[in-house]
Amino acid sequence: MILLAAGIINRLLGFIPRIVLPRVIGAEGVGLYQLGYPFLTVLVTIVTGGIPLAVAKWTAEARSVGDVSAERNIFRTAMALAIGLSTLLAVLAALAAPWVTTRILTDPRVYTTFMWMLPVLPITAVSAVLRGWFQGRHNMMPTAVSTVAETVVRIALVLLLSAALLPWGLEWAAAGAMMGVVAGEGFGLAVLLAQYARSRRSDGAPEDAPRGAPFPALRRLLGLAVPVTGSRLVGSLSYLLESIFTARSLAVAGVATGVATAQYGALQGMIIPVALLPTALTYSLAVSLVPSLSEAAAGSDRALIHKRLHQSTRIALVAGAPFAVAMYLFAEPICRLLYDHAEIAPMLRMLAPAALFIYLQAPLQAALQSLGKPGVALMNTTIGAAVKLTLIVFLASRPDLGIYGALIAIIAGIVLVTALHGIGVARAIGFTMSLPDFLKVGAAMTVMGAASLFVMKRWLMPAEWMNLLLALAAGTAVYLLLMVLMRMIDRHDVVRIPFIGRIFR
C-alpha cells in the first residue's frame, strides 16, 4: 500500500508533463523525445534489470535466517557491479551515438536527446541497488519517498527546460525534457542516500557486518540477476525495435517522416501512458511479492504462496477493470481533455480491452521470478516480443492500417505474454486464477459502464470535464458496491490498508 500510494501520486503527477508537453513542443517534439527513450530503456535494463530484484530476494532470505554477512556481501557486490557496468555502458553509448542516431533511427535530430540521457545510467544503477536492499528488508518507505521526490523534480524541470530551449528548435526542446529526467533521477538518488545514511545510524546497514567472500555472492547474485535481466532486456529491446520497425513500416505505408514521428509520439507518449495508469498498483504488487514469495518458498510454505498470488491477481483485476471501462467508453473526451487531440481516441479505445492483461502481467511475472523460474519468464517475453515485432512489420506497413497496425501488434504481444505467464505459474505450483472472479468482474464492468453512460448523457454539469468526472464517479461507486456484494472486496482487504484499516478492525 505504501508503494501504491507513491505510485498513484507519481502517475497523477506524471500526467502533468504528458498533458502539457505536447502543448509546448507538439506531437513531433514528443516523438523526438520518445525516439530516444527506447535506447535509454535498453541501457537501464542492462544496468538494473535483475540486480534490485536479486538484492531484495537474497536480502530477505539472509535476514530470515539471521545471516548478516551474506546480506552485506550481496549489497557490496551488487553496488560494485551496478556502478562498473553503468559507467562502461555510458561511455560505449556516447561513442556509438553518432552512428546510432544517423543509421538506426529515422530522425537524426534525436542525437542531442540521446547524449543528454546517458548520465541517467550510473544514477539509476546506484538507486536500484539501494531500493532493492530496502525492499528486501520489507521497508518500502525509502522507495516511495525517493520516487515521489524524483517525480516532482523531474516534472518541474522537464517542462521548464523544454520550454526554455524551444526557441533553439524541437531538437533542443526534446533534449531539455531529457535534461529534466536526469535532474529528477539525481534528486531521487540523493533522497535514497540520505535515508540509507539514516538507516546505518539507527539499526545498522550492510557495511557494518563482517566481511565475507565476494565471489560466491557474485555467483549467487548473477544466478538470479542474469535471467531476470534477460527477460526485461527482451522487453526493452522489443520496445527499441518496435520504435524502429514502426517508423520504417510507416514509411513503407507512405507516411512522411514528420507525420510518422508524430503518430508514434501520440501512441507511446499519450495513449499508452493512460492505459498504464493502474500499473502503479500492479508494480507495487510485483515488488512486494518478491520478498514475500521468496520467504514463503524458502520455508516451503505452499499454502502461503497460493494465498499471496490469489490476493495479488484478484487485486490487480479488481483495481484495473474500472480503468478499462473508462478508457473504452470515454476515449474521445479523455483524449480531448488531456491532450487536446481527440483524433487519437480510437487508439485508446482499441487498447482498452487489452489493458486488463497488462495489469495481470506484472504479478504473474514477479511470481515466476520469485519461485526460481526466471528462465520461463524470459522465454515467454521473448516469444511475445517476436510475435509483436513480426506483426508490426506486416500490419503497420499496410496503408489501410498504418499506426493502428502497430497497435494491433502491441496488443497481441501483451495478451500472449500474460497468457504464457499464467501457464508458467500453473505448471510451477499448480496455481490458476479463479474463473468466477473473472465472471464477477465482467458483470460489474458491464453495469458500471451502463451507469457511467447514463450519467454522462444526462449532461448535468456545465463543462465536459465535470460531466466526465461525475459519470466516472457514479460508475465507480456502482462498481465498488457490486464488488462488495459479490465478495470480491471484503473487510479483511480494507483492514490491511495502512491508517484507514484501523477503522474497520
In SS3 terms, 294-328 reads as: HHHHHCCCHHHHHHHHHHHHHHHHHHHHHHHHHHH
Residue positions counted in the chain: 505
Q: What pLDDT shows up at residue 314?
A: 84
For residue 468, give every residue at least 6 positions away whose Cβ sits within 8 Å of its Cβ, in sequence order, or none: 330, 333, 334, 337, 456
Instruction: Say how far apart CA 348 and CA 339 lie, in whole Å.
Output: 12
Contact between 189 and 131 (Cβ < 8 Å): no
Instruction: Say how far apart CA 227 and CA 186 lie, in whole Å.
Output: 28
Element (H, E) at 330: none
Instruction: Say how far apart CA 485 and CA 440 lie, in whole Å.
Output: 10
Please give the DSSP secondary-structure letter assigned to residue 211: P
Q: What pLDDT shows up at residue 489?
A: 77
Domain edges within the chain: 2-433, 434-505
For residue 439, give every residue at least 6 positions away whose Cβ sits within 8 Å of its Cβ, in sequence order, or none: none
Instruction: Say how far apart CA 347 and CA 332 lie, in whole Å.
Output: 10
Instruction: Say how far apart CA 19 and CA 338 lie, in whole Å.
Output: 5
Element (H, E) at 29: helix 2-48
Q: What pLDDT shows up at residue 466?
A: 92
The b/e string for 406-437 (b: 16+ C-beta within 10 A; e otherwise) is bbbbbbbbbbbbbbbbbebbeeebebebeeeb
For the chain, the straight-line distance linking the first and the last C-alpha, in angstroms and rounded, comes to: 17
The closest of 49, 55, 51, 79 to 137, measured between CA atoms, is 55
Query: Strand, helix or coil at 256?
Result: coil
The closest of 335, 417, 407 to 384, measured between CA atoms, is 417
The b/e string for 28-58 (b: 16+ C-beta within 10 A; e otherwise) is bbbbbbbbbbbbbbbbbbbbbbbbbbbbbbb
Contact between 97 and 110 (Cβ < 8 Å): no
DSSP per-residue letters across 373-425: -HHHHHHHHHHHHHHHHHHHHHHTTSTTTTHHHHHHHHHHHHHHHHHHHHHHH
Instruction: Say how far apart CA 365 and CA 356 lie, in whole Å.
Output: 15
Instruction: Say how far apart CA 447 and CA 494 lie, in whole Å.
Output: 23
With cell 486464477, the residue in question is: 433
Query: Strand, helix or coil at 205?
Result: coil
- What is the per-residue pLDDT across 15-46, written as a single tens digit (0 to 9) for each? 677 777 777 777 777 777 777 777 787 888 88
- DSSP H helices, 204-301, are 214-252, 257-266, 272-275, 279-298
In SS3 terms, 68-104 reads as: HHHHHHHHHHHHHHHHHHHHHHHHHHHHHHHHHHHHH
Looking at this protein, which amino acid is placed at residue 363?
P
With cell 532470505, the residue in question is: 61
Task: List C-alpha distances in Å: 136 to 56, 62, 71, 80, 290.
Answer: 4, 9, 10, 18, 8
Q: What pLDDT shows up at residue 209?
A: 47
Instruction: Say how far apart CA 165 and CA 156 lie, in whole Å.
Output: 14
Instruction: Say how far apart CA 366 and CA 139 lie, in whole Å.
Output: 18
- What is the per-residue pLDDT across 400-421, written as a single tens digit (0 to 9) for each? 888 899 999 999 999 999 999 9
Burial of 474 (0-12, 13-18, 19+ CB in 10 A): middle
Provide φ and ψ at 62, rounded to 5°: -65, -40
Contact between 148 and 10 (Cβ < 8 Å): yes
Compute mean pLDDT per 10 residues along the chain, 505 residues long, and list them. Answer: 67 72 77 76 80 77 70 82 90 88 75 88 91 80 84 90 88 88 92 85 55 59 68 73 83 78 79 81 66 69 80 84 94 89 91 92 83 82 92 91 91 94 88 83 94 92 91 94 85 54 52
